[in-house]
Amino acid sequence: MCDGLVNGFILCSSPENLLLCFLGVVIGTFIGVLPGIGPMGTMAILMPLTFRATPVGSFIMLAGIYYGAMYGGSTTSILVNIPGEVSSVVTCLDGHQMALQGKAGRALGIAAFGSLIGGIISTVGIIFIAEPVASVAIKFGYPEYFSLMCLGMILVVYLAHQSVGKAMISAFIGLLLSWVGMDMITGVPRFTFGMIELNDGIGIIPLIMGIFGVSEVLITVEENVKMHVLKTKIKNLLPNFQDWKMSFWPMIRGAFLGFFLGVLPGGGPIISSFASYGLEKRLSKHPERFGTGEIAGVAGPETANNAASQGGFVTLLSLGIPTNPILTMLFAALVIHGVQPGPLLITEHSDIFWAIIASMFIGNVLLLFLNLPLIGIWVKVLKIPFWILFPLILTFCLIGSYSVSSSTLDLYLMCGFGVLGYIMRKFGFETAPLCLAYILGPLMERNLRQSLLLSNGNFAIFATRPISAVFWGITSLLLISMFIPSIKCRLKGL
């Protein structure tokens, strides 16, 4: 473990990887500060730029955008009372109140240090958990993998923030899109409508750019968000002894809570930040102070959301299953470079695994030293009108989508998926299940068909193998619990 981590730091210390890490965290912070285009859209736009980089460099930059956005989101929440990221909603409650009381610097400083502590503790957790999980998963066969992927899909649908039914429809659309192209066993074209360009399937870049990048721009333009930056002098960015005394244990609790919630499929930064805020309010001797400028209400959630954002890397790196749309894009980035995330990653590509871990340590430290001195610049960034930014964003989307395969069909697909993403979001359909199903669809199909080939077409293979049976048992319980509320409503109607 120590040798691997040292080698990881050596690999990350190359000028190219350090530059990519720096660019990732700076862009992530910039995107986190600006309400509107989030890390998903940004990663989709910039993914084509990473194709010429190494797998490690590509992942380092995109991962830096992810957890950099967690840092930047707190700045907007505290100064403008508008969350830069959804996970920073809770920070508005006490962070903005502190800013109104002239304590903006203290709130921003404790948020930055909390994010650093959450990131470091979460990264250490990945080191100790990822390898044991991978050592168990390496014993999986085709049936176990198919069952596990079905469980992951159902968990994402089960934990949907809106309608479960709509989440299931979204996932089904993603599966349909994943079936476009050549059949992996017979070699027969499927759902291509005679278009040779679709024989290789629908490209991940046009889909992600459209669903997240273009639709995000359309939604933001429609909402016409106007920001009024708090006009106050920002000082005392370094927390004093009293701030540390009031924030230390909320940070520690937030880090561990966020990490373990982040490991769970569907957990993520949003749930962890709310859970941390609720926990601190419950443990406080003065819960009535929360919402009036309590520093623990900033420290806990900001630590938790950053810890959760990195906790999700456990399932991605050790099982090869992304548990949210952002990790889906990181999964795609590795696959595009010919690296398959999963239990074999640690053994076959140990240099990449340990370089990713080392980059998280470097990235979190960089974020602290970047965020505190550059607060003044981020305040000025908040004043940029979105009507200046969105034409540039759309231009980058068009260039990035076309540059991958130089196909005009990709441009049409990207625009079409942008409209689809916009319509889905307007009608309350979540886009995360769609993208996750699209990514996992080919893997699920391959493992299903290989399992049936092993059993001569007998589906009992999924029930007779113990691990697979356990996964299907959990999946069945989740499915039943999904439909219990609707069944109760119908019975009451009768």
The 3-class SS string of 219-247 reads HHHHHCCCCCCCCCCCCCCCCCHHHHHHH
Under the banding of pLDDT at 50, 70 and 90, the label for residue 437 is confident
> Structure pTM?
0.73
Instruction: Give pLDDT, residue 390.
Output: 72
Q: Got the DSSP string for 255-317?
A: HHHHHHHHHSTT-HHHHHHHHHHHHHHHH-S-GGGTTSS-THHHHHHHHHHHHHHHHTHHHHH
User: How many CA within 13 A on the CB side of residue 86?
Assistant: 11
Q: 274-309, pLDDT tens digit by residue?
A: 788 888 888 888 888 888 888 888 888 888 888 888
Give pLDDT, residue 59: 82
Q: What is the pLDDT of residue 221?
A: 74
Residue 242: the pLDDT is: 86
Q: Are 317 and 334 in contact (CB under 8 A)?
A: no
Can you tell me the distance from the alpha carbon of 205 to that of 216, in angstroms, rounded to the nearest whole number? Answer: 15
Most confident range, picked from 27-31, 358-362, 487-491: 358-362
- Which domain, by its residues, includes 35? 2-493
Is 293 in contact with 98 (CB distance < 8 Å)? yes
**H or E stretch at 190:** strand 189-190
Average model confidence (pLDDT) for the chain?
80
Q: Angle between the 142-158 and 432-454 helix axes, to the nearest 10 degrees?
A: 160
**Confidence bin at 161 (pLDDT 50/70/90):** low
- Of 263 and 120, the structure prediction assigns the larger pLDDT to 120
Task: Determine whether 259 is exposed, middle or buried from the number of CB atoms within 10 Å of its CB (0-12, 13-18, 19+).
Answer: buried
The 3-state DSSP class for residue 319 equals helix
Q: Is the alpha carbon torsion for 189, 195, 197, 203 positive or negative? A: negative
Residue 461 has pLDDT above 80, yes or no: yes
| 36 or 398, which is more confident | 398
> Of the ranges 190-199, 270-279, 388-397, 415-424, which one carries the lowest mean pLDDT score?
388-397
Q: How confident is the model over 213-259, as pLDDT tens digits?
A: 788 778 777 766 555 555 556 666 777 888 888 888 999 998 998 88
Per residue in 93-144, pLDDT (tens digit) is 888 788 888 888 888 888 888 888 888 898 888 888 887 877 777 777 888 8
Counting residues of the chain whose pLDDT is more than 90, the rounded percentage is: 1
CB distance 5 to 357 below 8 Å: yes
| Cβ-based neighbours of 318, under 8 Å, separated by 6 or more | 129, 130, 131, 133, 134, 137, 342, 343, 345, 346
pLDDT score, position 370: 77
List the helix and strand counts (H, then E) for the chain.
Answer: 23, 2
Q: Which is higher by pLDDT, 34 or 311?
A: 311
**pLDDT tens, position by position, 360-414:** 888 888 888 877 777 777 777 666 666 776 777 777 777 767 766 778 888 888 8
Instruction: Give 15-19's long-range contacts (Cβ < 8 A, gap of 24+).
Output: 16/53, 16/54, 16/57, 17/54, 17/56, 17/57, 17/60, 17/355, 17/359, 18/362
Domain count, the chain: 1
Kindly calculate the radius of gyration of the chain based on its CA atoms and give it in whole angstroms.
Answer: 23
Q: What is the mean pLDDT of residues 340-354?
A: 80
pLDDT in tens, 54-106: 888 888 888 888 777 777 777 777 777 666 566 677 788 888 788 888 888 88
**DSSP one-letter string for 9-27:** HHHHTSHHHHHHHHHHHHH
Give the pLDDT score at 338.
79
Confidence of residue 192 (pLDDT cuts 50, 70, 90): confident
pLDDT for the residue 229: 55
Residue 330 is predicted with a pLDDT of 81
